[in-house]
Structure 1
Amino acid sequence: MNSVSCPVPEEQRPINEYQDLKESWFFRWATLDRIGYLKPIAVLWAITWLISAPVAAVSFPPAKHLPQFLLFASAGALVIPGLALLRLYLGWAYVQRRLLNPAVFYEESGWYDGQMWEKPPEVLAQDRLVVSYQVQPILERLKKTFGAVAVGITIGVAVWFFL
């Protein structure tokens, strides 16, 4: 966006919000290769498992109910990684909406003076290309991850009922 024709402050421009998200420590996870993407999720799950295992052991002593203990602790360990994935998804979905929207809402100096700026066709086309080739694949990856987690939970529930 040309600063002369665009009244939106630099930090509130959708393309800059996208760049900031892409460069941030947390949101960059979703842009990494497969191993780089899955590693922090697995580490979060393992750390959370160390917290959820003692809780599960109170309800299902491992010596007596090992399968129930493992299922319960594993399900409990999904809470923090699930919240992290949800935060990743919400952040990228927000930027996607800002990029796709033909008008940009911005604040000049505070919450009380919001304005709207209509994107010119060339800016809108550029933003839509960024969504198509950069943001949408990230959101698809996150959706697939949620799907895999849902399948895992479904299998865990099914196993639970057969124990």
Structure 2
Amino acid sequence: MIKSSVSNCPVPTEQQPLNEYEELKTSWLFRDCALNWREHIKKMLWIWSLSWVLAGPVAAASFPPHKHLAQFILCGALGASIGVILLLVRLYLGWYYVSDRLTSPTVFYEESGWYDGQTWIKPEEVLNRDRLIATYEIKPILRRLQLTFASLAGMFVAGSIVWHLL
């Protein structure tokens, strides 16, 4: 964990926004968001493929593949996308939370429990450092996740059009 450059910071180490960012950045679930586009797409396709394990049998029960192949594929693809959407929501909310804590001029923290919360006003140097990290490290990740959401929405629209044409 990185310690704050301000020695009089009353915020517990694990609740300091910079340390929350470092922890999130190294977490197995969240670290893949910082990969290049190709790796990011591969990970999303991998999750989507694994989701087919659940979505495939449900789609086959509704639309037997030997009778309604196109409907089976579209229904299965939609069902498998739910796993990707849930993952994307979790990733987005985690990164957004840390970004919000970094860009905020104050830090709410708990000293020993939920009943004794305090607020610390960041010194200017800490606020500037945190905002730089949020701008140059986290904002691109949030944009990538937003574009992934938009791509999924576009695929849903395309799938709906194809469904209505069948």
TM-score category (smaller protein):
over 0.9
Superposed displacement of residue 50, structure 1: 2.3
What is the aligned partner in structure 1 of residue 58 from structure 2? 55
1:27 pairs, out of 30, 52, 69, with 30
Q: Does structure 1 residue 92 correspond to structure 2 residue 95?
A: yes
Q: Does structure 1 residue 149 correspond to structure 2 residue 149?
A: no
Query: d(CA) in 2 for partners of 1:47 and 1:7?
Result: 44
Query: d(CA) in 2 for partners of 1:3 and 1:123?
Result: 8
**SS of the residue 2:120 aligns to:** strand
What is the aligned partner in structure 2 of residue 82 from structure 1? 85
Is 2:48–2:83's contact at 8 Å kept on the other side of the alignment? yes
Q: TM-score of the superposition, structure 1-length normalised? A: 0.96
| Residues 80-129 of structure 1: per-residue CA shift (max 9 Å, x gap) | 11101110000000001100110000011111110000001111111110
Is 2:5–2:126's contact at 8 Å kept on the other side of the alignment? no
Q: 1:53 to 1:72 in 2, by over 3 A?
A: same
| Residues 4-58 of structure 1: per-residue CA shift (max 9 Å, x gap) | 2210011100011000000111000101122322222111111111221111111
What stretches of structure 1 of length at least 5 have no aligned partner? none
Query: d(CA) in 2 for partners of 1:59 and 1:2?
Result: 59
Superposed displacement of residue 3, structure 1: 5.1
Query: d(CA) in 1 for partners of 2:47 and 2:138?
Result: 24
Count of residue pairs the alignment pairs up: 163
Is 2:10–2:120's contact at 8 Å kept on the other side of the alignment? yes
**SS of the residue 1:116 aligns to:** strand
1:108 pairs, out of 111, 124, 141, with 111
Q: Match for 2:49: what amino acid?
A: A
Superposed displacement of residue 2, structure 1: 3.2
What stretches of structure 2 of length at least 5 have no aligned partner? none
Aligned-pair identity in percent equals: 51
Query: d(CA) in 2 for partners of 1:156 and 1:36?
Result: 25
**SS of the residue 2:156 aligns to:** helix
Q: TM-score of the superposition, structure 2-length normalised? A: 0.95
**SS of the residue 1:77 aligns to:** helix
Q: Match for 2:145: what amino acid?
A: L
What is the aligned partner in structure 2 of residue 8 from structure 1? 11
In angstroms, what is the RMSD of aligned CA positions?
1.0
